[in-house]
Structure 1
Amino acid sequence: MSNPATRELLADLIAFATVSRDSNLALIDYVQRYLARYGIDSEMIADASGEKANLLAVIGPQDRPGIVLSGHTDVVPVSGQQWHSDPFVLRETNGKLFGRGTADMKSWLAAVLALVPQLIAQPLRMPVWIAFSHDEEVGCKGVPTLLARLAQKTLPALCLVGEPTEMRPVFGHKGKIALRCEVTGHAAHSAYTPQGVNAIEYAVRIIQSLMTLAERLKQERNPAFDPPFSTLQTGVIHGGEALNIVPERCWFDFEIRSLPGVSVQPLVDEIIHWSQQHLLPEMRQIAVGCDITFTPLSHYPGLQTQAATTLEQVLALLPPPAAVNTVAFGTEGGLFQQLGIPTLICGPGSMAQGHKAGEFVSLPQLAACDTFLADLCCWLREPT
């Protein structure tokens, strides 16, 4: 049976339409006011625009390593999806709670907040940090400023990221780097094609080179992952104005999802060097104003958690995993680990239900999360 408070908090959190492109300040304000009711101060860490913010709060003694409960506040868009009910109103049907963010990952946020009364009701032998970030869905862009603030404290011994894993402990995921390539050619009437520089055609040549690099990435494998190799794909492309105009501009976005420990920056440098040293001179023989630029969009490291004392003790509170678990999607976990904090991914729901119409979390999953956090709270109690 899940904690009724978790269900109530989840309804409130779902009501905030914190799509990544929009502000999350109303949700952060709600969480701050909720924590303040229990006498807990929290810090809002705003981004450069002032429209989004992370939240960091601590319960318990701060002079020793503790545990971070981390999650992101943003959700993916609902536009273009066929929902049967308002995605920002929590709806219960047949043991499932529907709404945008129920799986990814406001159920975890709600369960963490519902745990607060239990945490403050007992002396803790180590601190519990609550770390809620913004813009995870667009490349973990918010969490670096949160980590910079956390790094000024006594470094935590463990981070728990509550992404949906059906409450199975997950020890690894791939990293990601995403870039935009912009090709500037030279426009001309299509009847005089040789006088122009076709930006789309040069973009295609770069994409073909990326496809060759994708095949090279398959050579290094790790059977713990699915697929067991790093991947590269072009996901978006735009270019051209009309069929009778040699296109002057074309841009496309591509990403590399890399196995932990695999360095992909040399591959990125290779494609940039080839484009600018071989293609660009060819283009500028026709028009000197041609250009090829690459702009980073997002970047976060992979996760490969190693055994640590606190981690092993917390794992004892969970059902034993059948095998070393990894997931295909990325999280902020690699950034916590990069800071030196062992990190475990474990949360309610399944990513199979995330990012789609009719997103849901089951009530048994929510109950399993509440039980785990309650057990964690008991484990954190200072011996008397």
Structure 2
Amino acid sequence: MTLTIATLERLIGFNSVSARSNLEIIGFIEGFLRERGFRLTRLPDGTGQKAGLYAEIGPSEGGLLLSGHTDVVPTDGQNWTRDPFRMSRDADRLYGRGTTDMKGYLACMLSAADLAARRDLTEPLKLVFSYDEEVGCVGIQKMADQLAPLLGSPRVCFVGEPTEMRVTIGHKGKAAIKATCTGQNGHSALAPYFVNALHVAADFVIELRRTQTRLATDGARDPAYDIAYSTVHIGKLSGGIALNIVPDIAELILEYRHLVADDPERIMDMIRDAARRVATRYRADFAGVDITLDRYNSYPGLEVPQDAPEVTLAGRLAGNQNIAKVAFGTEAGVFSALGIPTVVCGPGSMEGQGHKPDEFITLDQLSACERIMDRVVDEISA
């Protein structure tokens, strides 16, 4: 536990909020692994300000894969009572941004790397460190084409998001969409003569709520989730310049989160149809009315059969049979899409600590994760 805590303290000290470069934290991880004989491949993004990392030690075939992201969510506007980028301890709690999501797991990954470097391995230990997970699993998707030939065929991938060490076999996929509603400018004294873009947007919101009702009543269902159906959510509505001007542009930011059993393209078509219905109603008054949709980000869901071999293996290594599905998204769907058997399992509580001020992780959770890491290394050792 001493190495894990010391490493976590170093990791917390890097301000790796998604909006910033992560090169410093990647450089630290590279140095740690290079000293222990790992083969390293840095995977930079197009800007040169972000990079992922692939590392392996031991033989090339098979093995076990551990994966985590290096970025954290911002602390702006949160009421922290301590420095979020300096780890502090109070009894059995370690505080700092990312302790739970998910630098606690990264520290355990590096402890496993240290142990593996001192063992005679019969299979490789493989590690992936990504970036920009917190803004929609962006980094891992950019890395995927480069990763695919490097990864080979590991028996299982553990994505270490906080699940309180439960083996997690499912989460929903997600897409984020910007909808731009076009109406007419005009003086507000003559407002009824013009098509107000905010009115168009409001009617679109009503149609989206009807779409949500259809998904809840007629779509796929999975009682393993708190919300058992796919969802549509409007997160932001904006428009207008001044009170005395009829707005000609309004924007909505929305998302859908879908069960794997619900085709995401079908949901997207439902949203397109809703936009088309609204725009058509207004075009009798102004032919230029439109609603354009830009699906600017998406990531796949995860659905692993409970009797799959990777679930059995993960349960054995975790030392428990607590199988779960979670509400939040992860990078696991990307690894699964690459053909790698994948589960999610990591220390800490997303519900209790994820993205919150005074984020912490308990020593019990770190210790439980360390025990899994010890079993992981035992599994691939002579």
Residue type at the aligned position of 1:252: L
Q: How big is the shift at 1:145?
A: 3.1
Deviation string for 1:88-134 (max 9, x for gaps)?
11010121011111110000001101221211111222212110111
Q: Is the 8 A contact 2:42 2:53 kept in 1?
A: yes
5+ unaligned residues in a row in structure 1: which ranges?
Answer: none
Aligned equivalent of 1:191, options 168, 189, 192: 189
Q: Are the structure 2 counterparts of residues 255 and 267 from structure 1 closer, same or farther at C-alpha, using a change threshold of 3 Å?
A: same
Q: Are the structure 2 counterparts of residues 168 and 250 from structure 1 closer, same or farther at C-alpha, using a change threshold of 3 Å?
A: same
TM norm structure 2 = 0.94
Name the CA distance, whole Å, in 1 between partners of 2:186 and 2:294.
27
Residue type at the aligned position of 1:296: R
The question of 1:47 aligning with 2:48 is answered no
Q: Is the 8 A contact 2:66 2:157 kept in 1?
A: yes
Q: Is the 8 A contact 2:208 2:274 kept in 1?
A: no
Q: Is the 8 A contact 1:138 1:298 kept in 2?
A: no
The question of 1:337 aligning with 2:346 is answered no
Which residue of 2 is the match for residue 127 of structure 1? 124
Aligned equivalent of 1:166, options 164, 170, 178: 164
Q: How big is the shift at 1:227?
A: 1.2
The question of 1:372 aligning with 2:372 is answered yes
Q: Is the 8 A contact 1:56 1:146 kept in 2?
A: no
Name the CA distance, whole Å, in 1 between partners of 2:34 and 2:311.
30
Aligned equivalent of 2:207, options 206, 209, 222: 209
Q: Is the 8 A contact 1:103 1:359 kept in 2?
A: yes
Name the CA distance, whole Å, in 2 between partners of 1:271 and 1:217.
11
Number of residues paired by the alignment?
Answer: 377
Deviation string for 1:267-309 (max 9, x for gaps)?
2123224424651583485364x54221113211111113444
Which residue of 1 is the match for residue 21 of structure 2? 23
Q: After superposition, where does 1:291-302 map in structure 2 within 5 Å?
A: 291-302=290-301
Q: How big is the shift at 1:317?
A: 2.4
Residue type at the aligned position of 2:136: G
Instruction: Provide the alpha-carbon RMSD of the alignment.
Output: 1.8
Name the CA distance, whole Å, in 1 between partners of 2:359 and 2:51.
25
Q: Are the structure 2 counterparts of residues 13 and 126 from structure 1 closer, same or farther at C-alpha, using a change threshold of 3 Å?
A: same
Q: After superposition, where does 1:313-352 map in structure 2 within 5 Å?
A: 313-322=313-322, 324-351=323-350, 352=352
Secondary structure at the aligned position of 1:349 is classed as coil
Q: Are the structure 2 counterparts of residues 127 and 284 from structure 1 closer, same or farther at C-alpha, using a change threshold of 3 Å?
A: farther
Residue type at the aligned position of 2:88: R
Return 153-162 or 3-12, whichever deviates more: 153-162
Q: How big is the shift at 1:27?
A: 0.9
Which residue of 1 is the match for residue 138 of structure 2? 141
Name the CA distance, whole Å, in 2 between partners of 1:206 and 1:277.
9
Name the CA distance, whole Å, in 1 between partners of 2:282 and 2:247.
16
5+ unaligned residues in a row in structure 2: which ranges?
Answer: none
Which residue of 2 is the match for residue 224 of structure 1? 224
Name the CA distance, whole Å, in 1 between partners of 2:263 and 2:358.
37
Secondary structure at the aligned position of 2:168 is classed as coil
Name the CA distance, whole Å, in 2 between partners of 1:277 and 1:218.
21
Secondary structure at the aligned position of 2:329 is classed as coil
Residue type at the aligned position of 2:108: A
Q: How big is the shift at 1:235?
A: 0.8
Which residue of 2 is the match for residue 241 of structure 1? 241
Residue type at the aligned position of 1:35: L
Secondary structure at the aligned position of 2:229 is classed as coil
Q: How big is the shift at 1:10?
A: 0.7
Name the CA distance, whole Å, in 1 between partners of 2:77 and 2:124.
43
Q: How big is the shift at 1:12?
A: 1.0
Residue type at the aligned position of 1:344: V
Q: How big is the shift at 1:353?
A: 0.7
Return 300-309 or 155-164, whichever deviates more: 300-309
Q: How big is the shift at 1:357?
A: 0.6
Which residue of 1 is the match for residue 269 of structure 2? 269
Q: After superposition, where does 1:36-185 map in structure 2 within 5 Å?
A: 36-62=34-60, 64-153=61-150, 154-185=152-183
Name the CA distance, whole Å, in 2 between partners of 1:271 and 1:213.
7
Q: Are the structure 2 counterparts of residues 286 and 214 from structure 1 closer, same or farther at C-alpha, using a change threshold of 3 Å?
A: same
Q: Is the 8 A contact 1:74 1:134 kept in 2?
A: yes
Residue type at the aligned position of 2:43: I
Which residue of 2 is the match for residue 356 of structure 1? 356
Deviation string for 1:42-84 (max 9, x for gaps)?
222111222111111111111x222210111111111110000
Q: Is the 8 A contact 1:195 1:286 kept in 2?
A: no
Q: Are the structure 2 counterparts of residues 74 and 284 from structure 1 closer, same or farther at C-alpha, using a change threshold of 3 Å?
A: farther
Secondary structure at the aligned position of 1:151 is classed as helix
Q: Is the 8 A contact 1:180 1:296 kept in 2?
A: yes
Name the CA distance, whole Å, in 2 between partners of 1:222 and 1:308.
18
Residue type at the aligned position of 1:293: T
Name the CA distance, whole Å, in 1 between partners of 2:228 and 2:20.
35
Residue type at the aligned position of 2:234: T
Secondary structure at the aligned position of 1:325 is classed as strand
Q: How big is the shift at 1:318?
A: 1.9
- Calculate percent identity across the aligned residue pairs: 40
Return 190-199 or 222-231, whichever deviates more: 190-199
Q: Is the 8 A contact 1:91 1:97 kept in 2?
A: yes
Residue type at the aligned position of 1:298: N
Name the CA distance, whole Å, in 2 between partners of 1:230 and 1:270.
13
TM norm structure 1 = 0.93
Secondary structure at the aligned position of 1:218 is classed as helix
